[in-house]
Chains A and B, each alone.
Chain A
Amino acid sequence: MIAAAAPAGSGFGGPVGFGEVALALLLVAVALAVSRWREVGLESDLTVATVRSFVQLLAVGYALDFVFRGHGGFTLVVLAVMIATASLTSGSRAADVPSARPIAAASITVAGAATLGVLLALRIVPLSSRVVVPIGSMIISSAMNTTSLVMSRLCHDLAFNRREVEARLALGQPSRQAARPWQRAALRTGMLPTVDQTKVVGLVALPGAMTGMILAGASPLAAIRLQLLVMYMLLGGNAFAALVSGELTLRRLFTPDHQLIRTLRRTRL
């Protein structure tokens, strides 16, 4: 039982001990067995994933513990590392977009700063690293997904529909106007997953923040209040991310002379 393992007055260590974690590896062994038995070929990926997750989270655990124990000044460093990693990841998802990484960095930074800014300015959340780091990480990872979706969708759609885009340009429409239907679709693609998750929240899956609080022993009513806050902030954060990434991507896919960039025109589809 998880609760039984919780040491009194939880600090470092938390309610789950490393013994339990080691036992949970049995389930990884099940995955490995399935992979081998059915020739799925994921054994090495599973091993790498398991080892990586252990090392990464251990490092993050120590780092956060350090920050939360009176080194709140490092909060910005933690957020910056998260944004950098998210930008690299998102940027490589949309490799066809020129300057995909700077675009992702701008989009995720704006989403994170604006959303956290609103939460802090209205005193919805307290200015404490213990709150700002996890809240920020949720905004950043969600903004990362949105940014990847918007960049790759916009780039693909303009390349795929270039005949129509260029027909519009040939009639004298500015690039912004010529690309409008696809920019709209890309923003929609970027924002829709969060909207859908918000619609079915609690009915299909209990989301992370809420699950965590319940597992940690909080009352479900306290848990849903946090979850509502999280969902609403992600809706806003992703809207920022979609807006910024859509705008910046569009600017990189056309020249200042309202031409589709050559790489896009010559993409083989």
Chain B
Amino acid sequence: MTALIEYRDVRVDGDDGPIVAGFSAAIPAGRLTVIIGPSGAGKTTLLRLLNRLDDPDAGTVSLAGLDVRTYDVLDLRRRVQVVGQVPVTFPGPVAANVGGDTAALLARVGLSPALADREADRLSVGEAQRMCLARSLALEPEVLALDEPTSALDTASKAGIEELILGLARSGLTVVMVTHDPRHTDLADHVVTVERLAPEDGR
């Protein structure tokens, strides 16, 4: 099992002390890794370090053995697609949001190609979540990192998205999923646990 992504002794400071401190983990290539922990444990922050929407205050995050800071940041972000917890749609139709071969991408995430002409802000939350996945897949990323992808969904939609994510991992994509739902560890090839920091940690 070769690690594609490696966190080494990472610390991220917040306004009131560290959000993440002394965090180390390795994420294997081509598998589904689940990062699980309670809310407030800095799970979202860990994903933000992957695509450098944030940088650690100490420690390093590396991709394929190189510090993520050595890559061109815009190129890195296309290769490491991080999808936020709440789906963000841009003004305009679904096709303009997704780009690329919209019909094929929509099919890949289980959406009807007929949605291509729908205004993106008229999609249901579940549809929007899938559209965001399609938009990320359009960039042909090496890593797909998902922040609580099922938290905004009802039970039926949850199962659908979980199946979709599992399928993407089986297709050889490196998938990282952040969650607080213990059931998700059953889906994972690899599990990383994060704890909420005690107030005195890392100070």
Taking Cβ atoms with an 8 Å cutoff, the residues of A that contact B are 163-164, 166-174, 257-260, 262, 265-266
Name which residue of chain A comes closest to B86, CB basis.
Answer: A163
> Is B73's CB within 8 Å of the partner chain A?
yes
A164-B90 contact given A170-B51, A170-B82, CB 8 Å threshold: yes
Chain A neighbourhood of B75, CB < 8 A = 172
Complex Cα distance, B86 from A163, in Å, reads 9
Which residues, 139 to 172 on B, are CB-close (under 8 Å) to A? 139
With a CB–CB cut-off of 8 A, which chain A residues contact B86? 163
Contact between chains at B84 and A166 (CB < 8 Å): yes
Within 8 Å by CB of B84, from A163, A259, A265, lies A163
Distance (whole angstroms) from the CB of A52 to the closest CB of chain B: 38
In the complex, the 3 A-B pairs of residues with the closest C-beta atoms, listed nearest first: A167-B88, A172-B78, A172-B77
Q: Are B54 and A170 in contact (CB under 8 A)?
A: no
CB proximity of A262 to chain B, nearest CB, Å: 8
Q: Which residues of B contact A168 (CB under 8 A)?
A: 90
Q: Is A169 in contact with B77, judged by CB distance below 8 angstroms?
A: yes
B74 at the interface (CB under 8 A from A): yes
B74–A170 CB distance below 8 A: no
A257 touches B139 (CB 8 A): no
Give the interface of B toward A (CB within 8 A).
14-15, 51-55, 73-75, 77-78, 81-84, 86, 88, 90, 132, 135-136, 139
Q: Which residues of B contact A266 (CB under 8 A)?
A: 14-15
Contacts of A174 in B (CB 8 A): 74
| Chain B residue contacts of A169, Cβ below 8 A | 53, 77
* Across-interface contacts of B81 in A (CB, < 8 A): 170-171
Q: List 14 additional contacts besides A167-B90, A259-B54; criterion CB under 8 Å.
A: A163-B88, A164-B88, A166-B53, A167-B88, A167-B132, A169-B53, A170-B53, A170-B84, A171-B136, A172-B139, A173-B74, A174-B74, A257-B52, A259-B52
A174 and B78 CA atoms in complex are apart in Å by 11
Q: How far is the CA of A266 from the CA of B16 in the complex (A)?
A: 11
A162 (CB) vs chain B CBs: closest residue: B53
Q: Are B74 and A259 in contact (CB under 8 A)?
A: no
Inside 8 A of B73's CB, which chain A residues have their CB? 257-258
Task: Please state if B53 and A171 are interface contacts (CB–CB under 8 Å).
Answer: no
30 interchain pairs, CB-CB under 8 A: A163-B84, A163-B86, A163-B88, A164-B88, A164-B90, A166-B53, A166-B84, A167-B84, A167-B88, A167-B132, A169-B77, A170-B81, A170-B82, A170-B83, A171-B77, A171-B78, A171-B81, A171-B135, A171-B136, A171-B139, A172-B74, A172-B77, A172-B78, A173-B74, A257-B73, A259-B54, A259-B55, A260-B53, A262-B54, A266-B15
* Cβ-closest chain A residue relative to B99: A171
Q: Which residues of B contact A172 (CB under 8 A)?
A: 74-75, 77-78, 139
Complex interface: chain A residues within 8 A of B55 (CB)? 257, 259
Write the nearest CB–CB distance from A176 to chain B, whole angstroms.
11
* Chain A residues, Cβ within 8 Å of B54: 259, 262, 265
User: What's the nearest-Cβ distance from chain B to residue A168, in Å?
Assistant: 8
Chain B residue nearest to A168 in the complex (CB): B90
Chain A residues, CB < 8 A from B51: 170
Query: In the complex, how many angstroms separate the beta carbon of A76 from the nearest chain B beta carbon?
Result: 44
Measured CB to CB, the closest approach of chain A to B122, in angstroms, equals 17
**Complex: A143 Cα to B61 Cα, angstroms:** 45
CB neighbours of A260 from chain B (8 A): 53
User: B80 — nearest CB in chain A belongs to which residue?
Assistant: A170
For the complex, give the distance between the alpha carbons of A174 and B73 in Å: 9
Chain B residues, Cβ within 8 Å of A167: 84, 88, 90, 132
Kindly report which residue of chain A lies nearest to residue B87, judged by CB atoms.
A167
Residue of A nearest to B48 (CB): A166
Smallest CB gap from A169: residue in B: B53
Instruction: Report chain A residues within 8 Å CB of B53.
Output: 166, 169-170, 259-260
B82 nearest in chain A by CB position: A170
B31–chain A nearest beta-carbon distance, Å:
22
Interface centre among B73, B78, B82 (most CB of A within 10 A): B73
> Nearest Cβ distance between residue A247 and chain B, in whole angstroms?
20
B84: which A residues are within 8 A, CB to CB?
Answer: 163, 166-167, 170
- Nearest Cβ in chain B — how far from A179, in angstroms? 13
Contacts of A171 in B (CB 8 A): 77-78, 81, 135-136, 139
- In the assembled complex, the Cα of A266 lies from the Cα of B12 at a distance in Å of 13
